[in-house]
Amino acid sequence: MKAVAYTHCRPVTAEDALVDLDLPDPLPHRRDLLVEVKAVSVNPVDTKLRRAADPVGEPRILGFDAAGIVRGLGPDVAHFGLGDEVFYAGSILRPGSNAELQVVDERIVGRRPRRLSWSEAAAVPLTAITAWEMLFDRLAIGKLGPAAGTLLIIGGAGGVGSMAIQLARQLTPLRVIATASRPETRAWCLELGAHAVIDHRGDIPAQLAAEGAKSVDLIFCTNASEQHFPAMVKSIRPQGRIGLIDDPRGIDILELKPKSVSLHWEGMFTRSSFETEDMIEQQHLLNRVAALLEEGRLKSPVAEHFGRIEAKALLRAHALIESGRARGKIVLEGF
């Protein structure tokens, strides 16, 4: 099969940071599906692994979003058949989706929303799972009752932020305030349904106050948490909840104690990495998201189409993500 992989950690400017390869076809085992990959999208985790997780000379295939067709079944598969069209985010412990064929556990696979193209579907899974699990599992929005208050999403124009805005607007009564720093990203957040947009480069508490929110009930920070932590401490209401998905090194969580604020982490690979008892919840989640997409209540966060799945195009996508100027999701389709 054709695949795109890396063999050593290289900067994105290096021509061999990603390479086109021919590799043996994988075989499905246990509850695996063998999927013919039709389209993929690129996420920050792809660039982080390429830069920091050296495969020690062994080719490693990246890619954690895909849409495709089931071409093979493991002996214990119970929910899918040959020819089924699916979408999923895969496992960080297994070869990724930047290949013609991929094996993936059926418990983290959903049925592709048919009204979406292959590339539109591939842009959804990782961001939808991350946003859904943060909002409803970690921050437990459903337990807040009808007077849910205000949610601040820091980094609203990125892939995860794009889905979080939509899910919060469609499924909760929350007032959603997002942050964005450029005219085009501000417009993107408003288009997705944010009630208001403020600039995370400025004084966040002051801008919230100007929007009538002296404090917020929930904060979902999608990036630069270390930089924004002082503003979060100041802006969160007593007994509020903060959710993070990045890797801050310099925050002092004791600053949250006076307000009895809880801090929550979301890692969408947790269930697949540890094969938790509730691993199939990601299948159920993706199927619920697919239904919302079919109904037109959610839109795919695809923003850029970079052509075929090949090393040159994927490196271009990695470079845009590393620049910090990407919005929505970057997709690629076909080999």
What pLDDT is attached to residue 222? 96
Whether 176 and 291 map to the same domain: the answer is no
Half-sphere exposure of 56 (CA within 13 A, CB side): 0
Tell me 17's DSSP state.
S
Tell me 2's DSSP state.
E
What pLDDT is attached to residue 160? 96
Whether 309 and 230 map to the same domain: the answer is no
| Position 159 in a domain | yes
What pLDDT is attached to residue 143? 67
CATH for 15 = 3.90.180.10
| Position 110 in a domain | yes
Q: Which of 241, 265, 289 is the last residue of a domain?
A: 265
Residue 131: CB partners within 8 Å, gap ≥ 6?
Answer: 160, 161, 163, 164, 167, 220
| CA distance linking residue 321 with residue 207, whole number of Å | 27
Whether 102 and 73 map to the same domain: the answer is yes
What pLDDT is attached to residue 147? 61
What pLDDT is attached to residue 144? 62
Whether 118 and 139 map to the same domain: the answer is no
| Position 101 in a domain | yes
Whether 251 and 213 map to the same domain: the answer is yes
What pLDDT is attached to residue 253? 95
Neighbour-count burial of 16, counting CB atoms closer than 10 A to its CB (0-12 exposed, 13-18 middle, 19+ buried) = exposed
Domains identified in the chain, total number: 2
Find the domain containing 97 and state its range: 2-124+278-333
| CA distance linking residue 332 with residue 190, whole number of Å | 26
| Position 272 in a domain | no
What pLDDT is attached to residue 57? 74
Helix %, strand %, coil % for the chain, to 5? 35, 25, 40
| Position 95 in a domain | yes
| CA distance linking residue 18 with residue 21, whole number of Å | 10
231 C-beta neighbours (distance < 10 Å), count: 22
Distances (CA, A) of 232 to 82, 150, 221, 262, 306: 48, 13, 9, 12, 35
Whether 134 and 236 map to the same domain: the answer is yes
Backbone phi and psi for residue 50, each to the nearest 5 degrees, phi listed first: -60, -35
| CA distance linking residue 250 with residue 248, whole number of Å | 6
Distances (CA, A) of 27 to 21, 65, 273: 18, 19, 19
pLDDT by position in tens, the chain (length 335): 999 999 999 999 999 999 999 999 999 999 999 999 999 999 999 999 999 999 987 899 999 999 999 999 999 999 999 999 999 999 999 999 999 999 999 999 999 999 999 999 999 999 999 999 999 999 999 766 556 699 999 999 999 999 999 999 999 999 999 999 999 999 999 999 999 999 999 999 999 999 999 999 999 999 999 999 999 999 999 999 999 999 999 899 999 999 999 999 999 999 999 999 999 999 999 999 999 999 999 999 999 999 999 999 999 999 999 998 888 999 999 99
CATH for 138 = 3.40.50.720
What does pTM read for this prediction? 0.95
Whether 226 and 306 map to the same domain: the answer is no
Q: Which of 265, 293, 319 is the last residue of a domain?
A: 265
CB 50 within 8 A of CB 318: yes
Whether 117 and 141 map to the same domain: the answer is no
CB 1 within 8 A of CB 52: no
| Position 87 in a domain | yes
Single out the residue of 94, 108, 62 nearest to residue 271, CA to CA. Answer: 108
| Position 235 in a domain | yes
Long-range residue pairs from 322-328, CB within 8 A, at least 24 positions apart, any chain: 322/12, 322/47, 325/182, 326/158, 327/157, 327/158, 327/162, 327/184, 327/185, 327/188, 327/303, 328/123, 328/157, 328/158, 328/159, 328/162, 328/188, 328/301, 328/302, 328/303, 328/304
Determine how β-strand 150-154 pairs with β-strand 196-198. Answer: unpaired
Both tokens assigned to 290 = 């697919």
| CA distance linking residue 44 with residue 14, whole number of Å | 18
| CA distance linking residue 139 with residue 142, whole number of Å | 9
Neighbour-count burial of 286, counting CB atoms closer than 10 A to its CB (0-12 exposed, 13-18 middle, 19+ buried) = buried
Neighbour-count burial of 254, counting CB atoms closer than 10 A to its CB (0-12 exposed, 13-18 middle, 19+ buried) = exposed
| Position 270 in a domain | no
